[in-house]
Amino acid sequence: MPGNEQYPGAKRRPGSKKGPTKGSGGQRRKGLEGRGPTPRAENRVGHPKARAKARAEARAAKNWDLADAIRDQLKDLGLTIEDTAAGTRIKSL
């Protein structure tokens, strides 16, 4: 806010031990090295989209018991599955 410079706590005094007021000094970037890009939701273990994909595969193989078990797991998470002509949709309860 404009005008806060008059208050003693608004600016960090030069020579204080806390370091710079802006930037991380590269510490955040170093923490991300070697981890690679985030995988798609369908490929993450336990993600609802991954479970919906597994359910679609079970339905294609006509493994109805597994498909129903996956649907019940999603229902316990507060999600419902709609099978439409365009594909499977996941909705919140």
DSSP annotation of 43: G
- Report residues of the chain scoring pLDDT below 70: 1-35
Looking at residue 69, its pLDDT comes to: 94
Looking at residue 75, its pLDDT comes to: 92
Please give the Cα distance from 10 to 42 (Å, whole number). 47
Looking at residue 1, its pLDDT comes to: 55
Looking at residue 32, its pLDDT comes to: 55
Looking at residue 9, its pLDDT comes to: 53
Mean pLDDT computed over every residue of the chain: 78
Please indicate, yes or no, whether the overall pTM of this predicted structure exceeds 0.75. Answer: no
Looking at residue 22, its pLDDT comes to: 62
- The three-class DSSP label of residue 88 is strand
- The three-class DSSP label of residue 92 is strand
- The three-class DSSP label of residue 83 is strand
- The three-class DSSP label of residue 6 is helix
Q: If we measure between CA atoms, which residue out of 67, 65, 61, 66 comes closest to residue 83?
A: 67
